[in-house]
A = this chain, B = another copy of it.
């Protein structure tokens, strides 16, 4: 919902160039809320308002705009103003934004930044997206192990304004190699012993992420160990940066949303649903729809193959959609449950036997139940009690096949090093469709032929 509460006042202040009030607007509220109140303004107006905030506040407010607005603002304005803003944006967010700008624009802005920031940006840009390196920020509190509690606190006081977060202090040696961590909490509660050194109090068994580690694995570590931030190191344990909890929430949301989309046979959008280009969206959906379409075409050939049987027992035709959908639905339930359980780490490859045993029991229960209902209906339309048996027998067989297929494919994909969510549901649907028809007609042949 766009918050329009302050819009008229804001526009009036802008028209009057009311410095005092605009400055107050930028400082009184928390930066997130300030950004929210500015949502209704044009990019141009919002940029004007931002100029009344002091540098660090400006970048904080800017950080709460949506990406579209951020990119537009950085693309449109005076390079020197833009560079001043970019300098203040946290290192990890800054790199992500710069990736979105045109090469020409980047060439205009980079030279205006201090050498330190420029190097930092170039280094961060070299890491792959979706890895720890692509997520981390380099702004981290590094301290030597000989510092005392009192000295560390003073040093931290000096560094704090430059840092995104200070939940942990990272203790490093001369080569920047990570030796241990001290939490701010530990530091503060050790104020009574100001002569203790960081080396004496630090936790040496530190959970770290390798710079090339996949973001999903990083998120799992952070969740498992309830971390506020995880240090990122290279192969020789040099501390390169940290990944903070807010980036981890984003990763969790992104990965799970992708799962849900893949389950519904959509290639992950990687963009806002309302902002993605329609042609891109059509492609991301069309590719899977087409594959599924060809799978379903096979059912047409199968049915054509059984033309004689279907002519002989016309009533069998009526139940075709029912049987296919029962198999498809139960299969997609199984696949989704196994996929979500694997994403959250509840199911590992080694559990495959247990999963299949459990699924076979559940599928017998479900199949048995639906077969019973199916039989009651079939009795009403089939020529005889005996003929009606085709329906429940087929249903039971198809549902068991659907569940087994749905449960085993994601595990097999995972084993093959693929994303279990990637193709499971479409594959299951395709296989179960064909299998359903083949089982159906053959059961019919045996009982009726």
Q: Which residues on A are within 8 Å of B, measured CB to CB? A: 1, 28-30, 32-33, 63-64, 153-154, 156-158, 160-161, 163, 165-167, 184-185, 188-192, 203-207, 222-226, 228, 245-246, 248-250, 252-253, 256-257, 259-261, 263-266, 269, 272-274, 278-279, 281-282, 285-286, 288-290, 292-293, 296-297, 299-301, 303-304, 307, 310-311, 314-315, 317-322, 324-326, 328-330, 332-333, 335-341, 343-344, 346-348, 350-351, 354-355, 358, 361-362, 365-366, 369-370, 373-374, 377, 381, 425, 429, 433, 437
**Which of A160, A226, A263, A366 has its CB near the most chain B CB atoms (within 10 A)?**
A226
Q: Please report the C-alpha to C-alpha distance between residue A273 and residue B158 in the assembled complex, in whole angstroms.
A: 49
Known: A261-B336, A310-B317. A188 touches B166 (CB 8 A): yes
Closest Cβ of chain B to A128, distance in Å, is 24
Contact yes or no, A325 B433, CB < 8 A: yes
Q: Please report the C-alpha to C-alpha distance between residue A429 and residue B317 in the assembled complex, in whole angstroms.
A: 20
> Which residues of B have CB within 8 Å of A272?
341, 346
**Which of A329, A336, A361 has its CB near the most chain B CB atoms (within 10 A)?**
A329
Q: Please report the C-alpha to C-alpha distance between residue A30 and residue B168 in the assembled complex, in whole angstroms.
A: 14
**Which 3 A-B residue pairs are closest in the complex by CB-CB distance?**
A264-B336, A160-B189, A273-B341
Partner among B224, B315, B332 whose Cβ is within 8 Å of the Cβ of A32: B224
> Which residues of B have CB within 8 Å of A338?
273
Contact yes or no, B274 A296, CB < 8 A: no
Contact yes or no, A321 B322, CB < 8 A: no
Partner among B63, B157, B184, B252 whose Cβ is within 8 Å of the Cβ of A192: B157
> Which residues of B have CB within 8 Å of A273?
337-338, 340-341, 346-347
Contact yes or no, B260 A256, CB < 8 A: yes
> Which residues of B have CB within 8 Å of A156?
188-189
Contact yes or no, A166 B191, CB < 8 A: no
The oligomer's copy count stands at 2
- A297-B322, A303-B321 provided; 16 other pairs, C-beta below 8 A? A28-B205, A33-B207, A166-B185, A273-B340, A273-B341, A274-B355, A278-B358, A289-B370, A290-B369, A300-B377, A300-B381, A304-B318, A310-B314, A311-B314, A320-B320, A321-B324
Known: A245-B245, A249-B249, A253-B252. A322 touches B300 (CB 8 A): yes
Contact yes or no, B285 A362, CB < 8 A: yes
Partner among B191, B362, B429, B437 whose Cβ is within 8 Å of the Cβ of A157: B191
Q: Please report the C-alpha to C-alpha distance between residue A354 and residue B311 in the assembled complex, in whole angstroms.
A: 47
Q: Please, which residue of chain B has its CB at the minimum distance from the CB of A269?
A: B337
Q: Please, which residue of chain B has its CB at the minimum distance from the CB of A434?
A: B321
> Which residues of B have CB within 8 Å of A340?
257, 260-261, 273
Partner among B228, B289, B324 whose Cβ is within 8 Å of the Cβ of A245: B228
**Which of A28, A161, A192, A297 has its CB near the most chain B CB atoms (within 10 A)?**
A297
> Which residues of B have CB within 8 Å of A348?
1
Contact yes or no, B189 A225, CB < 8 A: no
Partner among B204, B281, B299 whose Cβ is within 8 Å of the Cβ of A321: B299
Contact yes or no, B189 A304, CB < 8 A: no
Contact yes or no, A265 B300, CB < 8 A: no
Known: A192-B157, A245-B228, A340-B257. A205 touches B292 (CB 8 A): no
